[in-house]
Amino acid sequence: FYPPAHVFLKTLKPPAITTNYDDLYEAAAASSNVHVPTLPWQSREMIKSNHSEKNSLLKLHGCVNYPNSIVLSRSDYMRYPDTSQALRGRLHGIFLTTDVLFCGFSMTDDNVHKIIDDMRKVVYVDGQPHDQKFGTILTMTENKMFNRLWDQDFHLQSFGISWADNPSWYHDCFLDYMISSYVKEA
């Protein structure tokens, strides 16, 4: 079983990135008879079959199918820069060339913070943000400190001012709208 949002996100076609180690995204793709190579484990397969990198899934924190790869403990996080530099490099490349959509991601992962900070060092001019943002972050509720932290680099879209606004409902409506729009176009 997988949520419909995973099917929708799979239909967007750009490379997908997750810190989740479950296999819901892969199951959603398989339900559409689409094979999505998971990186880094199937990178050689992609080269061999000339598979487009746009239809791939980068799993930053491991995968249940490769239990030793899962980043879960504090020591796993502390060792991440040493053990996963190539994955970080791949994400750097994606940030340089693609608008990134953060959906269902809390933006609290230290490894992702480091990658975004690396990008700031590369693309900022004289320490100032470029006029082109890295992408969009979808959040459930407004948070002034969160906005202040990320609004120079990302477009921010909140589904409610507070939890009293029932942002989960608006979030689900937004995904339903996106799915229906995509289905109409396809």
Query: Which residues are identified as catalytic?
Result: 61
Element (H, E) at 154: strand 154-158
* Continuous segment of H or E residues that includes residue 4: helix 4-11
Q: List C-alpha distances in Å: 55 to 16, 167, 177.
A: 8, 30, 23
The Cα–Cα gap between 87 and 148 comes to 28
How many other CB atoms are there within 10 angstroms of residue 150's CB atom? Answer: 19
